[in-house]
């Protein structure tokens, strides 16, 4: 009788502790710096089952529609399966982190999170995005910074276009001059500072935009929004 009780207890303990155990050694993967563009970055996470029952992955969800995932739905005890995630970088720049959430039948870790990281180098960017300018006897001047991953970036053409152009004012040529050129940063981005100038007689406040066309193949142009008003004399 005692032997039966002991065996029953051992059987119950075996059933009690029979469970899957999910294990992912590397939960974060960093692609490093990648260029801007329509590029897909895939990575496969190795998912181990360190338990003694089959590990069943019921779902894998991503934090963004730009990231898709596929996975092995069942991983046998002591075996390893895959969760493969792919991040489409199109339309993204700068530092990016995408979360992949894995749902399984592990009672202790029913949900774990994986992460894809990268820095997407903008082929061409402009700063600031908005400027307040003044027309001083028809002359309008400003300073803008263009940043590019291409080392020999140059402006080929720039022009000002009036918003809500009811008077059909044609585009106005904008003269640009390189003011300074920085050194490439750790991500290979070089900043160029430009003085710009154009002629536009303004009698009242108006909005428009300046487009800078460059020799950067991946992203040939950028633009800034500007607000222009007549220069006001400042009393002393």
Name, in order, each residue with C-beta under 8 angstroms of 189's C-beta and a sequence gap of 6 or more. Answer: 121, 122, 147, 148, 149
Contacts of residue 127, Cβ cutoff 8 Å, sequence gap at least 6: 144, 145, 147
What pLDDT is recorded for position 213? 97
Of the candidates 200, 230, 48, the one whose C-alpha atom is nearest the C-alpha of residue 134 is 230
What superfamily in CATH does domain 21-121 come from? Immunoglobulins (2.60.40.10)
Look at residue 2 in the predicted model and tell me its pLDDT. 55
**Local confidence pLDDT in tens for the 236 residues of the chain:** 555 554 455 555 555 578 999 999 999 999 998 888 878 999 999 999 999 999 999 999 999 999 999 999 999 999 999 999 999 999 898 899 999 999 999 999 999 999 999 999 889 999 999 999 999 989 999 999 999 988 899 999 999 999 988 888 899 999 999 999 999 988 888 999 999 999 998 888 999 999 999 999 889 999 999 999 997 654 44
Q: Do domains 21-121 and 124-230 have the same CATH topology?
A: yes
Q: Which three-class secondary structure state does DSSP give residue 2?
A: helix
| pLDDT at site 233 | 57
Report whether CATH 1.10.3470 matches the domain 124-230: no
Say if residues 92 and 66 touch (Cβ distance below 8 Å): yes
Structural domain boundaries of the chain?
A: 21-121, 124-230
Give the Cα separation of 75 and 202 in Å (integer): 71
Give residue 231's Cα distance to chain centre. Answer: 39
- Written as one string, the DSSP assignment of 183-202 is ---TTS-EEEEEEEEEE---
Backbone angles phi, psi at 6, to 5 degrees: -65, -45
């Amino acid at each position: 009788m005692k032997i039966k009780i002991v065996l029953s207890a051992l059987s119950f303990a075996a059933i009690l502790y029979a469970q899957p155990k999910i294990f992912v050694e590397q939960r974060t993967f960093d692609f490093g710096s990648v260029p801007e563009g329509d590029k897909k970055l895939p990575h496969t996470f190795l998912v181990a089952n360190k338990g003694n029952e089959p590990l069943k992955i019921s779902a894998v969800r991503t934090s963004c529609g730009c990231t898709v995932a596929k996975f092995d739905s069942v991983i046998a005890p002591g075996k390893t399966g895959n969760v493969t995630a792919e991040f489409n970088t199109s339309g993204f720049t700068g530092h990016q982190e995408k979360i992949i959430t894995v749902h399984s039948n592990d009672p202790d870790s029913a949900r774990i999170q994986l992460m894809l990281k990268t820095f997407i180098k903008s082929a061409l960017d402009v700063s600031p995005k908005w400027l307040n300018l003044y027309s001083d006897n028809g002359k309008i001047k400003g300073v803008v910074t263009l940043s590019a991953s291409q080392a020999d970036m140059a402006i080929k053409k720039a022009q000002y276009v009036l918003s809500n152009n009811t008077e059909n004012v044609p585009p106005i040529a904008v003269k640009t001059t390189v003011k300074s050129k920085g050194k490439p940063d750790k991500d290979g981005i070089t900043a160029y500072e430009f003085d710009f100038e154009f002629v536009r007689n303004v009698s009242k406040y108006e909005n428009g935009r300046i487009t800078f066309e460059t020799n950067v193949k991946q992203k040939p142009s950028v633009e800034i929004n500007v607000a222009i008003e007549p220069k006001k004399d400042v009393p002393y």
